[in-house]
Structure 1
Amino acid sequence: MRLHRLHITAFGPFGGAQEVDFDDLSAAGLFLLHGPTGAGKTSVLDAVCFALYGSVPGARQGGSLRSDHAPAATRTEVKLELTVAGRRLEVTRQPPWERPKKRGTGTTTEKAQSWLREYHAPGGSWKDLSRSHQEIGEEITQLLGMSREQFCQVVLLPQGDFARFLRADAEARGKLLGRLFDTRRFAAVEQRLAERRRLAETEVRAGDGELLADAHRMQQAAGDLVELPLPDLAPGDPGLAGAVLEWAAVARSTARERYAIAHCAQRATESAQAAADRVLGEAREVARLQHRFAEARQRAARLEDRAGAHREAQQRMERARKAEAVAPALHLRETADAEHRRAAGAEARARALLPGAFADAGPTGLAAAARKAAEELGALESARRAERRLTELARERQELDREERADDDVLQDAEQWLADWEGTRAALQTRIESAQEAATRAEQLAVQRDPAQARLAAARLRDQLAGDTEDAQARVLAAREGAADARTHWLDLKEQRLKGIAAELAAGLVDGDACAVCGATEHPAPARKVDGHIDQRAEDTALTAYQRADERRAEAERRLGVVREALAAATAEAGDAPTDLLAEQAEELGRRHAEARGAASGLHAATEALRRAEHEHRRRLTAHQDAAVRGASRTARREALTRQTASLEGELAQARGSAGSVAERAAELERGVSTLTEAADAARVAADTAQRLKDADARLADAAFRAGFDTPQAAADALLDDAAHRELQRRLDAWQQEEAAVRAVLAEEETAAAAHLPAADVRTAEQSAATAARRMREAASARDAAARRCTELDRLARRADASVRRLGPLREEYERVARLASLAAGTSADNERRMRLESYVLAARLEQVAAAATARLQRMSAGRYTLVHSDDRTGRGRSGLGLHVVDAWTGRERDTATLSGGETFFASLALALGLADVVTDEAGGVRLDTLFIDEGFGSLDDQTLDEVLDVLDSLRERDRSVGIVSHVADLRRRVHAQLEVVKGRSGSVVRQRGGG
């Protein structure tokens, strides 16, 4: 990377436009950037960093980049032209800035802008590449191969940082090297291993917890069976699995022994119970037989007492069997008598309805009279149809009259409504037009109302922000005054400290050690601190106070800019009109808009009313036309009905005779035919049933005589119904069964023999059997409990064994991951130097940096000093990032913190240059043709300064240039190419002098 040209406008202390030609400065290979304190030397380097990365180095971020000396209308801009990776680029950056409005008063904020262009050599022109901040940043970072932090350490070599690096501890060095070499992936590996260790440990502990839970379940299942206690180990303790399995084996073997004992006891109680059950069974059998014999004797006595009643029942059953032969004749006679009574009653009722002429007529005469009346009824069927048609014609004439009256009403109503139609339609059209005009006015007023309300809101916000702006301006003024006072105080203290710096240096002098300023080993008259001496701590405190005050000033200015921007936006929208006037205008527009919307709301109702009226007009007109057509057709229909009516009335007059109508005549004939037919049928049925009754009486008398009964009534009394017959038969059968059962029991030999034995003692036998059964149940319960205990212990033991086998690979994984994590974290005993993985990688990088720095340090120190990396432990801490210096004069190795001021300078310079080489190689070997070295030359004597300049001058090899940032006066004589920064009341300016 080579810098060509830098343009600065309104940036930092530079109020106007400044240009730096690095090509002219680099021609000499070594150039000087100098100027008084606070002139802006570092701001030139800040501009380079801002052009490349869009931000300044970390220690100076957060403040405003715009110059306080710049005119209000001048935009802050930094433009850098450089060559990187064989491409000539131009980067332009404009940070956000607050400028006056082009119209009206106040200010507005412009957004940040960036441009990237590339020079096209064949065409001799610049080509635009991008205007995106993100794209430009990614392109520059990719081309340079390093981040902003790396660039600031490698290209802008801050000597103070490396002096602190030499004196820092391992942790501070690790932070710096970690930022430069991006070793976050190794820290991520450490973290990942630690997480895996925690996860594996959690899983192992969880598995051990389950194993212990199963062990406690086994202890609970075993009860007091095992005297050996559970192992007193916690989850994760080594040997837990073996101890649990060993205890489980003891519990299982003891449980099986108890089960064998319980099984033997159960077998003994089963034998005792079987013997007691046999004795009880024999006693119960003897008692049963004795009871059976006594019961049979009692039953025989009861049969003897009921013998007379049994003989009577047998005789009653015999008479009932004889009477069953007469039962069909009795049933036939009862049926015939019932039928005859019903037929005689029906005949009497039918003859009561006949005229007197047919009172004594037989069935034949009644049937002939019915046939004659039916013939006359058939002759009236045609007249009945004509009479029904005449009734229908009368109804049709009535319907025509009703329709005529309805059509007359329709015609009259339609004619009256149609007469008013034109006036109704005109009124509705007027309503619609009025509502449409109101809707148009409402839309126009809505367009005016919304901007008016927006202007009113903006005016109210404008009034509020005006007061906020005044408050913010007061705070900014107070913050600026405070920052200026703090800066003045700090500069005063710094100047006082510089005047008394000799006393500070003298305080560290030791007889025999070389002075850091003059190199003498004798110190006859060292400077003494005077009253009111300002030390480094007081200066740092004042600097910190100034930085805090400056941060408060920047924050107050930022807040003022935000308030001003909001005020400008509100003023631009609201204008200069008073808020009260805008409120009245908005209220008036709102009222007029509401009135117009109210008037326009009737548009839909008026439109619907017109639509309904037009529909009604069409309906009324159609109804009027249809009523007129129906009237014409009714006239023809009425004439036809009149002709049909006259013809039918002549025909009916002949058919009616003396009756009022044909229907009445036909009804009289129908009633007569029905009455005569029913009477004839009833007379025939009565004659038939009388004959069947006589035949049934003769058959019954003959059947009773043959069955042995004197009269039919005697046979009827001997009959039994089904229920009585079944009951009598049941009693006879029960007697026979009981008699047979008693004889069988009394004839049994075993029963008779048992009756002669003493009474059986069943109660004693039952008590003995119950005792034996209880003992057997207790033994079975004990055996079952022992079996369940064995089963449960076996199940839990298998589960514990499976858990142990499952946890085996997991425990091995945990031990392996734990060893790796401890080794990577530096806590393992195998890691003798307690070096973390990231520290190990950084130690390798530090070793490379020390080797690259030694090549230049030996030349600067005339071969006296060599930088070496040390991985020795310091105290109880960890090792890996130690840095020592070897003094060739004494042959001793000591810590870099013991170097003097001048030695520290060229050691830190050599370290910075070595770090630049290593980081450059790490970034992909990007060539850095332009380097800057910041301060620190004031602590060198003439000889050392010459040696340092020779080393820097050697960097010009292969067209490399080095810029020295310093205010040491002696360098102005030694370095001819110079860039001077001169400060003034209107801002700083740059003056350039080439090496020629």
Structure 2
Amino acid sequence: MRPLKLLMSAFGPFASIQETDFAALGTNPLFLINGPTGAGKTTLLDAICFALYGKTTGDEREGSQMRCDLAVDSLLTEVTFSFALGDIQYRIRRVPEQQRAKKSGAGYTVQKPEAQLYRIDSDGSEHLLVASKVSEATAEIEQLTGLDADQFRQVMVLPQGKFRELLMADSKDREKIFSQLFQTQIYRKIEDKLKFQASAIRTAVRDHRNRRDGILDNIALESDEALNAELDELSPKLTQAVESKDKASLVFIDANKQFESAKLLTHDFDALDKLQQSAAVLAEQKKAIVQDRTRLENGQKAQQLKPVLDVSLARETEVVQAQDSLTRIQSAKDSSEQALALSRSKFDSLAELDLKLQRERNEEQKLIQLEPQLQGLDDLQKSFSQATSERDKAKEKGIKEKRVLDALAAEKYAAEQDIFLLEEVASKQLDAQQAVTAQDDLIERYQQWQKASIEASHTEQALKQAKDKGQQLKSRCSEAQTSHRQLQLIWHRGQAASLALQLSPGLPCLVCGSVEHPNPAQSEQQLPTEEELQQAQRFEELANEALNQARADYSGLNTQYQVQLQQLDELQQRIGDSSTQPLAHLQSQLQALQQQLTKANTAAQQLIQLRQQIQNWQSKERELQTRLDAEREHFQKLQNHLSSLKGQVAQASAAIPEQYHSLEVLDSAISQARSHVKTLQQTINSIRQSHTQALEQDAAQSAALAAAVSNFAQARELSNEAHGELKSQLSSSGFSDKQALTHALLSSEALKAIADGIARYQQDCIANQTTLAQITDKLDGQVKPQLIDVEARVATSQTQLQAAEHSWQLIQSRVTQLTQTQKQLKDADYQAKKLEDEYAIIGTLSDVANGQTGNKISLQRFVLSVLLDDVLLEASHRLQMMSKGRYRLIRKEDRAKGNKASGLDLEVEDAYTSKVRPVATLSGGESFMAALSMALGLSEVVQAYAGGIKLDTLFIDEGFGSLDQDSLDLAIRTLMDLQSSGRMIGVISHVSEMKEQIGTRIDIIKTARGSETVIVLP
């Protein structure tokens, strides 16, 4: 990652917007970040780390705590960072949670945290990757850089006071960092994949074993032998059960056949009974059928006379209708004669109504002629009223503007008095800022002194515990040595007795060669075995190793304690007498000074605002005076126009009758006159129209009456003719009168239903007689069987068959179950053998890859150990240069105790003592050189490996002050050499030699208004 540009707004000590263009520093620069204590040197790194991950480099302050107290309320705290990854550029903007001034109204509101991430193409076009969510932005940055915040701080930034973290990290932590840098997660995936496969196979083997046991449990047997024995026992039983089942089945089939024959014979006897009953019913229905034949004959004759009857009835209906029509028309003729008489009386009064209509029309015209005159008067009155209103408004507006002008003058006078008081308070702003800065620095040094005191106390306690532990281990080591030597002594002394046991009479001694053995050696103690001697030796070696490790730990802690005491003394001198005061007192003093500074800052801001306000008021005062003069001139013009309108209104009013001065009254009178004219005209038209209609209606009713009289006479004649024809037909057909004909008359449907009923009866009689004769012949000589006896025989044979089948099914089911179980057991044994063979391969690979064998080193850690060796080779090259050939970093190859991860731990080889010791034993300056070498070596190796993360930038915050002059020169020379390898290196330091030798700088200028950044080029 290569920084391009950093933009900070109200961030840390930077009160305004500060822009740092890293591209202006040149290609692969080595630059110094320079400035006084508290100016904000480390804040530059905090801003970069916060923009990327939302955390500061030291992770001691939240983003919400980074707002500058000197910033104006309208300026938002935010950081924008542009950087390049290879050839692709990105820009991220991040805003922490903070209190900001409301956009409208007084007071403050909470600004929620937000972040935006952009990708910038080569043509300058931007693509939004993250819109606002801070978590999404952080995740995207981690994906792009391949590092999280902690890893970024360890490999790209050596933070103030934390440069030893990468150097002192254990194997587990170093594995996390290196796996990200070198992208070796594929090896971890291989480990996990093999481990998962091996676990799955182990589980499958266990499941198969449980399944085999479960298969036997399902048949309630304990072994394969028991299964085979039961199958042999069931074989003859199954044969016998099959024979019994077949025999019972034959008996059941024969009984069932006899039952079916008996059911058929019984059915025929039942049918004979039903036919005999049907014959009796048909005999009873014969009388009703005779009556139906008579009704059918009469109905058919009546149906032939129905047309004559219908004509007679229709003629009678026409006579009644003609009589009703004649009566109705006679009544209408009487009504029309009365209406005509009334219409004649109204028609005679039309002459008088015409005269009245003419008078009303003349009155209407007079009123209409007054309308334009009254409209003119109304317009003049409205103009007069409007002019009066405008004059009054102009007068009121002038009064209001005069009041505003007076109030503005009063406010300006009061502001001038406030300026005099504020100038005195604001004059103390610079002194208050300097006092706050000094007190803030004092509290920071005091907190460092407190922290150092606590750390020294903890180290002293750990040193005491290490000393006690060393004494205990020394005692255990002495005991192990004594025990081992005693066993060795007993063993040596017992060798003679051991050899004497091998002597035999007449055979030479293996030691002296004598064949006589008068006094063979004997042992009074039991001799130790070879295993006991080896175990005692191993106990002694382990005790020595533990003692040596404890001594090394004690030496490292002692060195650390001495360094801490020295730092504590330096900090004590820097805070002076303040060390005797509590922190709360110093913070209380700082709070009081901050309150004074806040008052001074507020007064300065108010002073600027008031001076600007007075200028605004003066401008507004001139504007108001101009407007007031214009309003007075406008008022006088309106007053003159009003006097002219008043005379015109009086002249127009005299020309119109007083009762019609209102336009509404005149309009009402005109409307009323028009209504009278319209009503009279409608009345005249209505009388004339009604008289014409009455004449026409009377003539029409006279014609209708004559037609109705003629129709009635004709209908009565036709009715008499139809009645005579019907009477003649009744006499010849045998019906006594019209009522007898009507009674015999049936519908076509009714006649058809009677005929169909007679036909069905005849068919039923024939069918009954034929079927009865057939069944009687069939059953001649037969006897009706008893079904209950036959059913009993069927039920008995069926029960015997079910019992035989049940017995056979039990045996057959058990045999089938045992046979299937044999096959399942065979399949299970085959699958288990396959899994065990597979586990022999996968399980071994998993154990090796996950570090469960040998030196307990996993596959990924083994690969990383090779990469670490390359890193240490580069790092040692630089460390030897800076330490004048004394130190070399190496990887600890001994396995860690217990289950602790190992393989990536570091040690330092000291050429002066020719010994290897832990890196924790290095002093503060030595640790800084080692950490710097480690970071540079890591950067070199990561860059060399294709596909790795690009570490082309390194920031170093302090640490150079712990080096002597020669080591400092060597460190600077090493950093300068790196420029040729394409690295950007930024250094934060107070050391004056750094400023002299590094010409490219970012100077942080500390002022009372906040810090500022300036780029200085050589």
Q: TM-score, normalised by structure 1?
A: 0.47
